[in-house]
């Protein structure tokens, strides 16, 4: 498979809309019309069911892992990095849903879980406690991603991977900002209420 093919494969794997599929299969609804409209595990968890939310979370993490592992078997490190970006871009802007997808947190966890397994395992364990107490996904994401670069330096990760550990979560943050800014005012209000309820 060519390098371009690997990156395109990663995009289309990322474009598999797990949350949308779960909404249709479990309740016959469009997840984009529920809650905060996000096509992601947290919205499915709140609006469809906890079990469906966990399944979507695992599916989205697996998408990220698959894209990176496939690239590692056939390509050089730059293509591995590109495939990781492509799978997250596919999740956030899936062609099957008119480029309206999720925010990429779970898929990013999958990508970085392959590239930085020890560091991610440590931070997932740490962020699990505040998440279970507050149910606040934004807080958990901040605890998981914000110190990743520093932990990676402490464990001796290669420089390019350390930089990547900043860039990819940054893409998630940018996506979150863009999607939140374009939400209708009422949807923003509902999102704020749900986050307060999570706490």
Residue-wise pLDDT for 112-144, tens only, equals 999 999 999 999 999 888 877 777 777 888 889
Mean pLDDT of 164-185: 79
182 band by pLDDT with thresholds 50, 70 and 90: low
Q: Domain of residue 127: give its range.
A: 3-198
181 band by pLDDT with thresholds 50, 70 and 90: low
**How does DSSP assign 88-143, residue by residue?**
HHHHHS-GGGTT-----HHHHHHHHHHHSHHHHHHHHHHHHHHHHHH--HHHHHHH
How much is the pTM? 0.86
192 band by pLDDT with thresholds 50, 70 and 90: very low
Report whether 150 contacts 74 (CB < 8 A): no
Domains: count for the chain = 1
């Amino acid at each position: 498979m060519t390098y371009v093919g690997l990156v395109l494969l990663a995009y289309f794997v990322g474009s598999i809309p797990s949350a949308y599929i779960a909404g249709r299969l479990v309740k016959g609804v469009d997840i984009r019309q529920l809650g905060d409209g996000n096509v992601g595990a947290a919205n499915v968890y709140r609006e469809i069911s906890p079990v469906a939310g966990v399944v979507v979370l695992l599916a989205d993490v697996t998408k990220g892992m698959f894209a990176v592992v496939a690239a590692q078997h056939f390509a050089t490190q730059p293509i591995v990095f590109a495939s990781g970006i492509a799978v997250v871009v596919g999740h956030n802007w899936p062609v099957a849903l008119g480029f309206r997808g999720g925010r990429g947190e779970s898929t990013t966890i999958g990508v970085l879980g392959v590239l930085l397994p020890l560091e991610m395992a440590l931070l997932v364990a740490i962020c699990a406690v505040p998440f279970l107490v507050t149910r606040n996904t934004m807080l958990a994401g901040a605890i998981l991603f914000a110190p990743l670069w520093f932990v990676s330096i402490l464990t001796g990760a290669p420089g390019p991977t350390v930089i990547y550990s900043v860039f990819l979560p940054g893409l998630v943050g940018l996506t979150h900002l863009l999607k939140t800014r374009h939400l209708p005012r009422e949807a923003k209000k509902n999102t704020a209420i749900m986050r307060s309820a999570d706490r």
